[in-house]
A = this chain, B = another copy of it.
Amino acid sequence: MELVPNNTLICASPEDGRRLALSLAMQTSFAIQPDDHVQKIIRDAYMNNPDGLIAAGHVVAIEFATIAAANNYWR
């Protein structure tokens, strides 16, 4: 199972960087819980829960901070 799509943090733009951040978070979730059915139940749960949705966004924000630094913030 691939944890980092294309095995690089370098990407063309912030938009791509943000999608990579979402992917990193999702792939790691699958690495910890590989069962598709369980993942679907879990995803349905946090997508429809304020604390869960904020906590998921929190992880994406941290992943994005790493990716943005990797790309010198696309300055």
Contact = CB atoms under 8 A, between A and B. Distances in A.
- Number of copies of this kind of chain in the complex: 6
Q: How would you classify the secondary structure of chain A's contact residues: helix, strand, loop or mixed?
A: helix
Interface string A36-65: 001000100111111111111111111111
A59 B66 CA distance: 13
Interface of A: 2-4, 7-10, 13-15, 17-19, 22, 24-25, 27-29, 31-33, 38, 42, 45-66, 68-71, 73-75
22 contacts: A2-B15, A8-B13, A9-B74, A18-B24, A18-B27, A22-B32, A24-B61, A28-B61, A29-B53, A29-B57, A32-B56, A38-B47, A42-B50, A42-B53, A46-B50, A49-B50, A57-B59, A61-B66, A65-B65, A68-B69, A69-B73, A70-B74
